Amino acid sequence: MSTTVCDVCGSPQATAGPFCTVCGTPRGDGAARGPEHPVGTTTEPELVAATRRGTPPAQEAHAPLAGVGRRFAVAVVDSLVTSVPPWLLLVVGMVAAGRDAAAASAPAGAADLLAALAGWYLGAGLLSLALWLALCAWESSRSRSPWRR
């Protein structure tokens, strides 16, 4: 029994036949190939690439995608960045207004206390809006938040 080698993929062929048993390329004197398939070519480039000897072509290494847990953690961080500073501002406002709580027992003092707290609430709301808009601007210009790199 004679062993031949396919001239397209280079695989050894134990049996003599009209086609390569690995890549399916017609073998022989070229009569079975026809004029459109000269010796050494195949119509299926995937088969040629799969049976080629040597090292395979280098493939791009893709960065791994973040899992659900990491995405959730980053969403929590984004929420904290836009909500903690306004809450701290409100705590400072309550402490500052709490010093005047003794004067709030009178009706005129209660109105002054509410006016002072309204200013702190307005400031905290504007700070929250500014932080949210800044985060939106960052994400829209870079397609990710600062913590999602």
Question: Which residues are paired to 19 by β-bridges?
Answer: 26
pLDDT reported for residue 33: 44
pLDDT in tens, 17-66: 777 777 777 776 444 444 554 555 555 666 666 666 655 556 666 777 77
pLDDT in tens, 65-83: 778 888 898 888 888 888 9
Calculate mean pLDDT across residues 85-100. 84
CB 135 within 8 Å of CB 145: yes
How far apart CA 120 and CA 103 sit, in angstroms, is 18
